[in-house]
Chains A and B, each alone.
Chain A
Amino acid sequence: MSGTGLASEQVADALQRVLAVEHAAVWTFGSLGAATSASATPLLLARVERAWTAHRGRRDRLHALLLDLGQQPVGSQAAYAVPSPLGRPVDVERAAARVELAGTQAWAFLVASTTSGTRRWAAGVLGELAVSAVAFGAEPEPLPGAGDLVGT
């Protein structure tokens, strides 16, 4: 599926890097969900939960792809730095936007590092994360995940 014409070690390395990012995203969105009030901000909580579910799905698929390549998938860390502060809904949104923007860079890297079906998946996720980032209040970008190419 992935790696047609690309050294499998390079593909595996890219998948491992993105898996590490997804581990952090799952953990962070879990924290954001815990910091969000279901009664006061139900819509925000629903968006956070949707993002958490999406990141879990991506994490699991990356894990499976690495096993298919005969690689031991990188595990999650025991803990990650909690975004701070998280006292207000706007803090949660800001932290969520940062996670999604970090994701766009990781998945754009995966686009560049893979081919065919895996690249198509990565491009799709890149779009999803870019849209999710603006939904959480991030500024739109002409090339999400590849901002290094703009204005240089």
Chain B
Amino acid sequence: MPAPSRRTALVVSGLTLGVVATGCGEGATPPPARTGGRSDGPDETLLGEARTDLVAALALVRAARRAHPSLRPRLVGLQRTHRDQLSVLDPEGRTGPAEGPEVPARAPEALRSVVRAEERLVRRLVTWSVAAESGPLARALAASAAGVAQQLALLEEER
């Protein structure tokens, strides 16, 4: 994973504080977190879960590519995607490594296992996005789900 820049570190801390500027064309103003006061606690917990799942997903993709050289080209996009997502959501690499995931012995089954895990990840990222108090965090999580959905669509196209 590339070393996080200072700005990236500021961005990720901003995700749970609701201070990252987002926009929809010129002149858009950053949406604040919900009005009426909020606690950072729930979003920190939610972000931690998202990071853990992303680390686990990346570990499975890497393990599948290691175990099955024939899958390397097909899964390289997912690997890059998760690496880049973690560079945004966990720029300091606070999340510990995932336990060594089990990879099926046959490549087609390994691929199916990766796809199932990624489909589940998309659902969870959307759920966390909806649950997030911070608008910017919700945006980052929903965008991460969309990024994984793109990779799944490309994998489906190649079948």
Contact = CB atoms under 8 A, between A and B. Distances in A.
Interface of A: 4-7, 10, 14, 17-18, 21, 104-106, 108-113, 115-116, 119-120, 122-124, 126-127, 129-131, 133-135, 140-146, 148-152
B31 A140 contact: no
Interface string B23-62: 1110010011011100000000000000000000000000
Nearest to B23: A109
B24 A143 contact: no
B63 interface: no
Interface of B: 5, 7-8, 11, 20, 22-25, 28, 31-32, 34-36, 77, 80-82, 84-85, 87-88, 122, 126, 129-130, 135-136, 138-140, 142-147, 149-151, 153-154, 157
Nearest to B125: A123
A152 B8 contact: yes
Contact of B35 (A6, A18, A129, A142): A6
A108 B22 contact: yes
Contacts of B11: 149, 152
A133 B25 CA distance: 18
A144 B85 contact: no
A115 to B, nearest CB: 7
Tell me the interface secondary structure of chain A in the complex: helix
A144 B146 contact: yes
B24 A21 contact: yes
Given A105-B24, A112-B139, A152-B7, A143 B84 contact: yes
Contacts of B147: 130, 140-144
Nearest to B78: A140
A134 B154 contact: yes
A5 B34 contact: yes
Contact of B88 (A5, A10, A105, A143): A143
Contacts of B8: 149, 152
A120 B5 CA distance: 31
The 4 A-B residue pairs with the shortest CB-CB distance, nearest first, are A5-B34, A142-B84, A112-B135, A109-B24
